[in-house]
């Protein structure tokens, strides 16, 4: 599938509009489908193509050319029934890659069972991310499948003013310092000879528990 394939987005609430706006900034062609005329008018000048249509109707989707898309995002979240109907229509149209927002675990399970390829839980994921940030010294936190995370933080005191090799970050703390940024500089790849200073920012990878323990060091 082409990395720049046009994207169909159904729903222009906060999640859908943010997704459409970012894709547009990345020069991806976007067709947004929305039932609310006010939202259609609001976004008409900001997104490549915006049409007013009810995506719960497969005929309406066919009329706007939805079947020609290879990627679709179901951003309908306020109504589980509407979300499922839209997703089912997109599955029936044979769109190869469907992403859908879910508001609960049961909602997500239904979406998966009808054939949605990627289910997103934006509110839950945002809540979990914020919990990690407010609970420690991490400045940013991204969790991937399989309990693997990337975190941005200042280096703990115990690893400052020495090379990564001599501080034994990987062997002692079971995390890897991927990148480092000095004040006013840019992120660069870390090497075994990289010396971490107090005002540096570092990107650390590892399991959730190991990264959290590392971030909690003084």
H/E/C letters for each residue in the chain?
Answer: CCCCCCEEEECCCHHHHHHHHHHHHCCCCEEEEECCHHHHHHHCCCCCEEEECCCCCHHHHHHCCHHHCCEEEECCCCCHHHHHHHHHHHHHCCCCEEEEECCCHHHHHHHHHCCCCEEECHHHHHHHHHHHHHCCCCCEEEEECCCEEEEEECCCHHHECCEHHHHCHHHHHCCEEEEEECCCCCCEECCCCCEECCCCEEEEEEEHHHHHHHHCCC
Q: Tell me: the pLDDT tens digits for 88-112?
A: 999 999 999 999 999 989 999 999 9
Least Cα distance to 208 among 159, 154, 136, 112 occurs for: 136
pTM > 0.85: no
Residues above pLDDT 90, as percent of the chain: 72
Q: How far apart are alpha carbons 85 and 89 in whole angstroms?
A: 6
Query: CB of 100 within 8 A of CB of 90?
Result: no
Residue 135 has a pLDDT of 63
**127-146 per-residue burial string, b: 16 or more CB within 10 A, e: under 16:** eeeeebbeebbbeebebeee
Least Cα distance to 76 among 62, 55, 95, 96 occurs for: 55
The pLDDT of 23-33, averaged and rounded, is 91
Query: CB of 156 within 8 A of CB of 165?
Result: no
Residue 182 has a pLDDT of 94
Query: CB of 169 within 8 A of CB of 194?
Result: no
Q: Tell me: the pLDDT tens digits for 115-172?
A: 999 999 888 777 777 777 776 678 898 888 768 999 999 999 999 999 999 999 999 9
* Cα atoms in the 13 Å half-sphere on the side-chain side of 184: 0
């Amino acid at each position: 599938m082409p990395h720049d394939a046009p994207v169909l987005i159904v729903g222009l609430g906060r999640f859908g509009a943010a997704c459409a706006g970012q894709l547009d900034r990345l020069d991806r062609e976007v067709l947004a489908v929305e039932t609310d005329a006010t939202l259609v008018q609001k976004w008409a000048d900001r997104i490549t193509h915006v049409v007013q249509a009810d995506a719960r109707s497969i005929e309406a989707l066919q009329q706007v050319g939805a079947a020609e898309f290879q990627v679709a995002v179901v951003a309908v979240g306020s109504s589980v029934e509407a979300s499922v109907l839209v997703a089912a229509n997109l599955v029936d149209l044979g769109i190869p890659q469907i992403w859908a927002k879910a508001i609960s675990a049961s909602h997500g399970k239904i979406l998966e069972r009808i054939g949605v390829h990627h289910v997103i839980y934006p509110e839950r994921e945002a809540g979990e991310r914020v919990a990690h940030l407010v609970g420690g010294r991490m400045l940013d936190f991204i969790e991937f499948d399989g309990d693997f995370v990337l975190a941005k933080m200042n280096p703990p005191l115990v690893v400052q003013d020495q090379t990564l090799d001599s501080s034994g970050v990987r062997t002692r703390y079971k995390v890897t310092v991927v990148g480092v940024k000095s004040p006013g500089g840019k992120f660069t790849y870390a090497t075994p000879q990289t010396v971490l200073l107090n005002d540096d920012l570092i990107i650390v990878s590892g399991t959730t528990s190991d990264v959290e323990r590392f971030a909690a060091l003084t």
